[in-house]
Each structure stands twice: as structure tokens, then as C-alpha cells.
Structure 1
Amino acid sequence: MTAGDQQQNGAPFRQPPTGPRVAPQPQPSFTAAPRSPVQQVTDGYPAAFRWRRMASVIFFVGIMLSGGIRAYRDLSRPDAWSFWKDQYVSPSLSSVLVADAALGATGGTRAVLAVSGRIGPAAAIWLRERINESNLRIGDVVLLSSPGGNLEQGVLMGEIIRAHGLATAVGVVDKDGRIRPGYCASACVFTFAGGQTRYGLDGSALGVHRFTSKAEGEDAVADTQRVTGAILGYVTRMGISSQVIEAMSETRDIRWLDPQEAEAMKLVTAPLKPL
């Protein structure tokens, strides 16, 4: 009996018309390797562009690593962290701006930037930024209240004050915005010396003392001579008598100058009476 006879008689096919039934072969399974971030970024772009994009990414990573290494080297210096902390984290100085302050019985009114605190390793940069933010004009006043601190920064602060044509005074601002007597000692005196006009508020005090060198032996002598020469040149340019250097050299403790001495040294140029 043929296959056709079986179909006609209702009998099922023992074999399909197209031949024996064959089970499908299993397909091999695999998982694609994950793409890198660079591949994800460059997918869908021409090959040349992808290479340029990849080169840019590599260049950026190199710059970041280079900057990190440079920052690490900078921070590894003994004084680097102190400088960064004083400039960005917790400045040693603080300020208050009084837009229209009365300087004294005969001083009139001016904008006053009251600066107080210890002079730290980044004090000069800090002061320059505060002066710029305050929009101080020639003749406005930087009011100082400080025990001193970094000698070099104190001198630089004085240079900045002179470059802006500002005056200086010693004192503090009370809660009502009025100027009250204060004190300025050690490195603060050189900041005060930068004033185009240097007001001497009655009751305020200026204190000087001998500076010390961290070097030893012959290096200490050479360092002291170098610093003394630099300080003498600075006070001379500011119109101050060399007598202030003599007063400094007399003691390692603070010597408070009386008003007559300060005027005789031309450290104070405009005495004022408090209100």
C-alpha cells in the first residue's frame, strides 16, 4: 500500500511527506562581554571620531592625575597645609565692614573695614580679597586689632593697603558700629605702617618687639641681618623713622609705645580723640 492509499483509507502517515522528522539542533548560548565606559561613549560614531573621543578621555584623565600629584606634592611641604587652611578652610582673620563710621571727634566719617585676629600664612591674599569685595576707595580705613603673627604677611598686608591708597587705624567696632580703642602688636605694626594716613585713636596701643630667626648659628645672624635690612627699607618707604627699628631691638617682650613716641617716629600721622 502506498502513502496515498493510506491517506485515502484514513490511516495516519508513518512518515511526513517531506521526509523523516528531525529534532532541531540546540544553538550555542553565550553572553557578550561588557562594554567599557569609553565604548559606551563612542558607540554610534565613526571610527575616526571614536578614536579622537577616546584620546580626549585619556588626555583628561592624565590631566586629573597630574593635578592630583602636584597637589599632593604641594601639601607635602611643611607649611603648605597651614597656608591652604588659612586661605580656604578657617582664615585666622575676620572682618566687618562699616559703610559710614565716625573715626573720632575730628576725623569725620569714612568706610571702615575692621580686621581682627592673628596674622596667618595666607593673610595678605585674604586682605586683598576683602578690600576688593568691600569696594573701598582712596582714603577709606582699614581698622586693625591683632596680636601679630606672620611677619612677612604683615608687611605684604601693609603693601596692599598702601597700593590701594587706604588709611589705617587701631581699634575695634562695637555692636553699635562705633569705633573703640584696640591694640596692634608685633607684625600688625607693619600692616598699620602701610596706611597712607595712620590714625592714632586715643586709648589704642601699638606694640613692638625684637623678631627672632628660626635658623641657628651663623645662619641665624645672616637671617637676622637680612630681615632687619628688609624691614628698615620698608618702614623708610612708608615714611616712618628708623627709630621704630631701634625700639624693636630693645626687647623680646612687647614694648607698648606711648602716643608721643609713636608720633615722634612718624608711625602715627593723625592723632584722633574718641567720640
Structure 2
Amino acid sequence: MSAGDNQDGENRLRSSPTGPAVAPPRLPAGQAPAPPPQPPRRKWHFWTVAIFILLVAGVCIRAYRELSQPEAWHYWKDQYVSPSLTSQVIDTLHLDGSSRGRRALFVSGTIGPAAASWFRSRLDQANLAPGDIVLLASPGGDLNQAVIMGEIIRSRGLATAVGSADDVGRIKPGYCASACVLAYAGGKARYGVLGSALGVHRFVTTKPVSDPVAEAQRISGAVLGYMTKMGVSSSIVEAMSETRDIRWLSPKQALAMNLVTDPLGTP
């Protein structure tokens, strides 16, 4: 053994600064060294898991209670499952039979509890410009949603008309009754289509209230304020209050109330 080998051996034996020199253990041939020990993984504390479960359960219970209400379910259904209104974009609507036409959105069906949100999204997709037309054909529906629809129509400077259209954009008569009239009143210009009909009646609440008379007065006041804001005569509220059945306004009556601002035919 050489001096170098002897010195290397001594260095290998001096692995500990104190105590006798100890030779490191030798691994059998072909065996890999053991991996270093891993620190223990941190596990979720029991209370953390319990609190998480309670939070999730609370959210689920609240959502169930909200959706279990008939009004909430009807809104959810009207918004996401089966909207009560349908729409169609008309590239060129010929209101008066002339060659000049306007872009229009035809909206038909019952005004449901989520109609205003649905209507706004359809207007965005239709890309109507101020002066374009919302063509309505509806038996009515939710009063509050119809008012919001009318506000949306007015804020965008759109016009309204009642009826439908054929394949070439020629307008056909239709009807708009009850809450639909409130949406129609939102038009900056409100066209009176010859043969179309506007129907009004007294609005009542279907929910149980402690004072039905006060509630009826509140609704009448709200309708009067909205119609006045839209430039319609207060006499329309008088016509509404006369009957719970639909009262169909004649073209002359609708024009006298300023409900129709631009008649397209002779009243």
C-alpha cells in the first residue's frame, strides 16, 4: 500500500470530528442509496374540513329556499329554460308600404318575470340604432317587466309599433294588450298600424296583500307616473280603471290619448 493510499484511508476514517474514526458503511454492490427522508405532509385539520362542509351546506340550503319560492322558480325558468317571449330581427320593415324601410326587432309572446333582461340582450344582439323599431305582439303579462322594457326602449331612442311582418318585411296587423301597452308606450315615436289593436284594463295584484284598496291605488299611481313620463295623456289611466276586462281602444281614442303619435292609416 502506498503512502497516498494510506493517507486517503485515514481521511476516510476521520468522518467524525470527535470520538474514534469510524469507517462509513458500505452498500452492497448494485444497490442504490436510500432517498432522504421526506418531511411529513401537512394534513387538513378536522375543524377546517368541518367548517368548509358547513359553509357549502349553508349556501345550498339558501339556494334551495330561494328557488323553492314560486316567484324565484318562474324567474329562473323564464330567464334560462324557456323564455315566454320570442324575437326575430327584421332587416327591412316597411311600415307604410313605401320602399323605405327600417330595421326592426319583432317581439311576441307573454311578458314573463324575466322579460326585461331577456329583451335587453336581444336588443344588443339586434344592434338597432335610434329610430329603428320594436314591433310588438303580446297579450300582456308582468307589469313591472313591461315598464322596464318601455324604459329600455326609450333610453335607446327606438320607436314602437304593433303587429307582425311577412317574409318581405310588409307589416301585418296585430294586437298589444294589458302590460304590453306599457312597453309600447316607451317608444319615442309610437306608430299606429291600420288594423292593429291596443287593449287596456285595470291592473290588479295577484299576491295576497293586507290592504287591496291601497295596493290598487299604488299600482294606478305608478302607471300614471310612467305614462305621463312617456308623454301619454292621463286619460288612459281612466280608461284602464273602468274595467278588469280588456277594453280595445279605437284608433281615434289612442290618438287622442297620445298613445299613438304617428298614425299610419286614417283613424
Aligned equivalent of 2:80:
88
Among candidates 232, 239, 242, match of residue 234 of structure 2: 242
Within the alignment, does 1:228 sit opposite 2:244 as a pair? no
Per-residue deviation at 1:150?
A: 1.1
Aligned equivalent of 2:19:
none
TM-score by length of 1: 0.75
Long gaps (5+) in structure 1: 1-43
Per-residue deviation at 1:162?
A: 0.8
Per-residue deviation at 1:67?
A: 4.0
Matched residues, number: 228
Aligned equivalent of 2:102:
110
Opposite residue 188 of structure 1, the aligned amino acid is C
Q: What SS does structure 1 have at the residue aligned with 2:95?
A: strand
Change (3 A) 1:102 1:72: same
Tell which deviates more after alignment, 145-154 or 208-217.
Answer: 208-217
TM-score by length of 2: 0.77
Q: What SS does structure 1 have at the residue aligned with 2:176?
A: strand
Long gaps (5+) in structure 2: 1-37
Structure 1 vs Structure 2 CA RMSD: 2.7
1:142-171: CA deviation from partner (whole Å, max 9, x where unpaired): 100001111111111111111111110000
Within the alignment, does 1:138 sit opposite 2:130 as a pair? yes
Aligned equivalent of 2:92:
100
- The equivalences for 1:33-112 within 5 A come to 47=41, 65-105=57-97, 108-112=100-104
Q: Distance in 2 between matches of 1:214 and 1:229?
A: 18
Per-residue deviation at 1:114?
A: 0.2
Per-residue deviation at 1:214?
A: 3.3
Aligned equivalent of 2:260:
268
Q: Distance in 1 between matches of 2:214 and 2:39?
A: 67
Aligned equivalent of 2:149:
157
Q: What SS does structure 2 have at the residue aligned with 1:261?
A: helix
Change (3 A) 1:60 1:246: same
- The equivalences for 1:166-185 within 5 A come to 166-185=158-177
Tell which deviates more after alignment, 229-238 or 175-184.
Answer: 175-184
Within the alignment, does 1:255 sit opposite 2:247 as a pair? yes
Q: What SS does structure 2 have at the residue aligned with 1:73?
A: helix
Task: State, as a whole percentage, how many aligned pairs show the same letter.
Answer: 58
Change (3 A) 1:103 1:222: same
Change (3 A) 1:59 1:180: farther
Does the aligned pair in 2 maintain the 1:107–1:272 contact within 8 Å? no
1:30-57: CA deviation from partner (whole Å, max 9, x where unpaired): xxxxxxxxxxxxxx99846x769xx7x9
